[in-house]
Amino acid sequence: MGLWRGIVLLLAFMIIGRGEGQLVENFYNSSCPNVESIVQQAVSTKFNQTLITIPATLRLFFHDCFVQGCDASIMIASPNNDAEKDAPDNISLAGDGFDTVVKAKQAVEQACPGKVSCADILAIAARDVVAGGPSFNVELGRRDGLISQASLVTGNLPEPAFNLTQLNTIFAKNNLSQNDMIALSGAHTIGFSHCSRFSYRLYSFSASSPVDPSLNSTYAQQLEAACPQNVDPNTVFDLDPVTPRTFDNVYYQNLVTGMGLLTSDQVLYTDPTSQPTVVDFANNPGDFNGAFAAAMRKLGRVGVKTGNDGEIRIDCTAFNS
């Protein structure tokens, strides 16, 4: 009997050890039953102040989860400017994403002090900013991380010049499939990018062709006009030039016509391995919405800390001690 009990305990421990197995949709049912409506209200208020809230919050969630898992380590502010958010790849994260989480956390703390993690608030907010996009239930129970270092970011985020193999490799490290990667790239249906992230496609693509031949020629001319050489580095261009303020599947329709802003966008169509999925999402918004919702739930499970790992931060921008 003792051996059997030991095996049962071992199996239970193995299941708990998986981390992601412990996230559940109703985690705060008794400790903070209104958490989702509180966060939704805070997100709505912020969204009404500025549209940047949408891409800023989505990008914040993505960048957080890909470095040490979804643990709100991206939120930490360091007096020495050496936290995760200070890494070169994160400097361009818009302040409105951070502010969304901070405001939501303050509202949640008033109702349920010390109960809800910043990591969970960010996960809920990332779902709620996609107004008009796919809705889905968010799994909860994450704890906040205790480490936030700029040095840990390098090599863990996709780069704008990545090809399909490089994209698939970095997503697979986070247990995300090619289909998930293509669906999550659809977040580029809203938001913008700095000229410096794609200007090489206009002026120095290759020795034989300064302009990337996969770029739609009319679109390339628009980009050159908006982003001349030596332009102010803060100049930005919409990732989706057709419906830049709407979360929809037009991003994929743009890829089909050669209007992907970043190399890592356009390659999803030019590479024959991923092209059928892009065509499907371009033609069937329901397929995209379903894949995006499923991929967001999978993204939210990446490297989560649960149980006694980490902490429940009182202030999202600082460790408790």
Is 188 assigned a ligand-binding role in the annotation?
yes
Nearest to 185 by CA among 317, 69, 73, 278: 278
Beta bridge partners of 192: 238
194 is catalytic: no
Is 73 assigned a ligand-binding role in the annotation?
yes
Enter the tokens of residue 260.
């992907």
Catalytic residue chosen out of the listed positions 63, 85, 142, 297: 63
Is 128 assigned a ligand-binding role in the annotation?
no
Is 37 assigned a ligand-binding role in the annotation?
no
Cα–Cα distance measured from residue 72 to residue 127, given in angstroms and rounded to the nearest whole number: 15
Which residue type occupies 101? V
Is 50 assigned a ligand-binding role in the annotation?
no
Beta bridge partners of 236: 194
Is 189 assigned a ligand-binding role in the annotation?
yes
Binding-site residues sit at: 64, 67, 69, 71, 73, 84, 158, 188-189, 240, 243, 248
* Residues classed as catalytic: 63
Binding-site residues for heme b sit at: 188
Binding-site residues for Ca(2+) sit at: 64, 67, 69, 71, 73, 84, 189, 240, 243, 248
Binding-site residues for substrate sit at: 158
